[in-house]
Chains A and B, each alone.
Chain A
Amino acid sequence: MANISFDLVSPEKLLFNDKVGMIIVPGKDGDLGILPGHSKVISTLRPGRVMIYGEDKNLLKSFFVSGGFAEINPEKCIVLAENVDELSYLEKSLVEKEIQQLESQNEMKTNEQLLIAKAKLDAINFTFYNTI
Chain B
Amino acid sequence: MPSLKDIKTQINSVGSTKKITSAMKMVAASKLRRSQEKAEAARPYSSRLEEMLASLASSAVSGEGIIKLLTGTGNDQNYIVVPVSADRGLCGGFNSSINREAFKLAKSLEGSGKIVQLMPVGKKSRDFFNRVMKDQIIESFVDLNVSSTGYESALNISNKLQELYFDGKFDKCILVFNKFKSAISQEVTQQQLIPLDVSNSEKEEEKENSSNAIYDYEPDEETILKDLLPKNVSIQIFKVLLESDAGEQGARMAAMDNATRNAGEMIDSLTLKYNRTRQAFITKELIEIISGAESI
Residues on A close to B: CB < 8 A?
A: 7, 9-14, 27-29, 32, 39-44, 67, 69, 71, 78, 80, 82
Contact = CB atoms under 8 A, between A and B. Distances in A.
Contact of B45 (A10, A39, A40): A10
B170 to A, nearest CB: 24
A12 B218 contact: no
A28 B228 CA distance: 14
- Interface of B: prevailing SS: helix
Interface string B205-233: 00000000011111100011001100100
Nearest to A41: B216
Contacts of A42: 52, 55-56, 215-218, 224
A127 B217 CA distance: 29
Contacts of A10: 45, 151
Contact of A11 (B55, B215, B217, B238): B238
A122 to B, nearest CB: 21
B26 interface: no
B208 to A, nearest CB: 11
Interface string B144-160: 00000011001000000
B68 interface: no
Given A42-B56, A82-B151, A9 B48 contact: yes
Interface string B64-77: 00000000000000
A128 B293 CA distance: 109
B153 to A, nearest CB: 11
Contact of B216 (A7, A28, A40, A44): A40
16 contacts: A10-B45, A11-B151, A11-B234, A11-B235, A11-B238, A13-B41, A14-B41, A27-B218, A28-B223, A32-B218, A39-B216, A41-B215, A44-B218, A69-B52, A71-B52, A80-B52
A40 B212 CA distance: 9
Nearest to B238: A11
Contact of B215 (A27, A29, A40, A67): A40
Nearest to B227: A44
B52 to A, nearest CB: 6
Given A11-B238, A43-B217, A82-B151, 19 more contacts: A7-B48, A9-B45, A11-B45, A11-B151, A11-B154, A13-B41, A14-B45, A32-B218, A40-B216, A41-B215, A42-B216, A42-B218, A69-B49, A69-B52, A69-B224, A71-B48, A80-B45, A80-B48, A80-B52
Contact of A9 (B44, B154, B218, B228): B44
Which one of A14, A32, A42, A71 has the highest number of Cβ atoms from chain B below 10 Å of its Cβ? Answer: A42
A80 B49 contact: yes
B266 interface: no
Contacts of B227: 44, 67, 69
Nearest to B212: A40
B42 A28 contact: no
A82 B228 CA distance: 12
Contacts of B217: 41-43
Contacts of B55: 42
A29 B216 contact: no
B172 interface: no
A44 B214 CA distance: 17
B44 A7 contact: yes
A76 to B, nearest CB: 11
Contact of A29 (B41, B219, B231): B219
Interface in B1-57: 38, 41-42, 44-46, 48-49, 51-52, 55-56
A28 to B, nearest CB: 6
A80 B42 CA distance: 11
Nearest to B46: A11
Nearest to A70: B218
Interface in B77-108: none
B45 A28 contact: no
Contacts of B38: 12
Contacts of A11: 42, 45-46, 150-151, 154, 234-235, 238
